[in-house]
Amino acid sequence: MKVLVTSAWPYVNAVPHLGNLIGSILSADVFARYARLKYGKENVVFVSGSDEHGTPIEIEARKRNIEPKKLTDQAHAYDKKLFIDTWKISFDNYSRTESEVHKEFVRNFLVKLEKYIKVEEDEIPYCEKDKLFLPDRFIKGVCPYCGFEDARGDQCDNCGRLLTPRSLVNAKCALCGNPPVFKVTKHWFFDLSEFGDKIRDWISSSSTMPDNVKSVALSWVKEGLRPRSITRDNMWGIPAPFAGAENKTIYVWFEALLGYLSATVEYFKNLGKEEMWKEFWLYNDTKTYYFIGKDNIPFHAVILPAMLMASNEKYNLPSVIAATEYLLYEGQKFSKSRKIGVWIDEADKLMDVEYWRFILIRLRPEEKDTNFTWREALRIVNTELNDDIGNYANRVLSMVKRYYDGVVPSPKEAIFNDEDKNLITLIKESPKRMGELFELGKIKAGSEEILKLARSGNLYLNNRAPWSLVKTNKEEANNVLYISVNSLRTLAIMLYPIMPTYSSNLYQQLGLSNLESETWDSAGSLKIMPGHKIGEIRSLFKKIEMSPEELMKKLDEIRREVEKERPDLLR
Ligand code: MET
């Protein structure tokens, strides 16, 4: 079986914040790391990239009077480094929509949709001062649904509704602020109307698609799918491949979505295995996972599948679209302009990145919007990570060292009692349950299994008290430590997708090496044998001794420095 893992392509014109990170890329990374252990490294490909076209960048470039590509080159490099080097995101390919492979793929793909493409005249707002059509974000105004003051021509950032420029109240040119006129221009439309039934049948029959995704897709279909314009009069973008559309570019969503395909093509091309991408897109025995924020559901659950269907190539449709709800920051929306939140180039200077990864997975807004608070972040590190997991590991390892000179004792199965057997069952079942939840896109729920196992292990030690058993009943003490040392191997493997370095550290303390060569399916077996010598012990995690107020104060200091270093586009 092949597994394709994708995460939404971040717009390159803003540094992602922690909500963006957990919504897409970090969740996808945790899943990809799990999938490699479960299905084998060679059967998993994880792609994403920078979404770098679109009006906001063209606006910025115009304001600064430089080429948009200059701005995106810098910003792409900045983001890519942050993801890969700082946040340990294990992309197989982090591409960009300016990649030549992508541009060529998009142009070839779109001409294949010919049957469903219509040319129509459309009235587009036009700024007479700037001599420019004003699609999407070139135009701003008040959202007709929620009254948000800063809505864009294509979508309201507040309520998430898709908009048309006509529907905006008090529309203004985003560059000069003057009201636009409406001018007639020709555009190329992708006619989605034929795909309503197909999308409904596909999504409602899926047993793996999460409910929030199903309900958005079905309500779209119910409202009726209409032709959507896929061309723009912008200069910055991929030139439209249609005859007569030489001066137009492709609307950013219709090409960025194809990045999932083109980045897979590019990955294998770079490996010199040009045909192999097809195994991930055209063969039946593949599962495809998309990790996105909820505002992106219509594009992934309706538009992308419709494009794939329309191409007539039998591409695999998404198996699981794991769409998160929103992460709030201390009760408020993240806001760049109001500096509410934490950004991914700041967070790593405040706290260990793997601690962050754990915090964010534990706060992943899986069922509902979730509030990030510093108090909760500290609780997660100090209680869950340090006490529940770290102390448990340390208790077990120290006892093996103290009572057995670091050598794992021999169990005697005939005298296993119920508590022994229960922990063995939990060792066996926890990774299995975690994997099943992960495969439904439930990453936070899956992570719960780690804590359940660690807490049960702690209780087991308390109840069985091996420190006194060693004096009164050595055989039972042997059993307890044999079983609990094995539970640590299980825990290390389960922790790996979230905390790759710390889990490897635990694995080494167990006297084992190369955690990445483990398999998920073996995580629940008791593979540490009697006579095995454990490694050197040290405490795994440290408590954070700062208060929320102190952390926030330090963040302010960090922010002042970081903002100076950001590339132009990201200031
Ligand atoms: N750039 C989009 C966003 O951040 C996602 C594109 S996914 C192909 O919402």
**pLDDT profile of the chain (571 residues), mean per 10:** 98 96 98 98 98 90 93 97 98 98 98 96 90 86 95 89 91 93 95 97 96 96 95 94 95 97 98 98 95 96 98 96 98 94 98 98 97 98 98 98 98 98 98 98 98 98 98 98 98 98 98 97 98 98 98 98 92 84
Angle between helices 500-509 and 474-495 (to 10 degrees): 160
Pocket test residue of 6, 9, 102, 297 for ligand 1, highest count of atoms within 8 A of CB: 9
The tokens for 72 are 């995106």
Going by the annotation, the residues of the binding site for ATP are: 336
- Atom index in ligand 1 nearest the CA of residue 257 equals 8
Distance, in Å, from the CA atom of 25 to the CA atom of 9, rounded to the nearest integer, reads 8
What is the structure's pLDDT at 135? 81
Under a CB-based contact definition with an 8 Å cutoff, are residues 393 and 509 in contact?
A: yes
What is the structure's pLDDT at 482? 98
Pocket of ligand 1 (CB under 6 A): 8-11, 51, 256-257, 259, 296
Pocket test residue of 4, 11, 21, 289 for ligand 1, highest count of atoms within 8 A of CB: 11
Pairing of strands 2-7, 320-324: unpaired
Going by the annotation, the residues of the binding site are: 143, 146, 156, 159, 336
Residue from 228, 259, 295, 190 nearest 47 by CA: 259
User: 49: which strand partners?
Assistant: 95
- Cα dihedral sign, 175-56-370-79: negative
Distance, in Å, from the CA atom of 117 to the CA atom of 123, rounded to the nearest integer, reads 18
Going by the annotation, the residues of the binding site for Zn(2+) are: 143, 146, 156, 159
- Catalogue all structural domains in the chain, each as residue range(s) with its CATH number: 2-113+252-371 (3.40.50.620), 374-522 (1.10.730.10)
- Cα distance between the two ends of the chain: 44
What is the structure's pLDDT at 133? 87
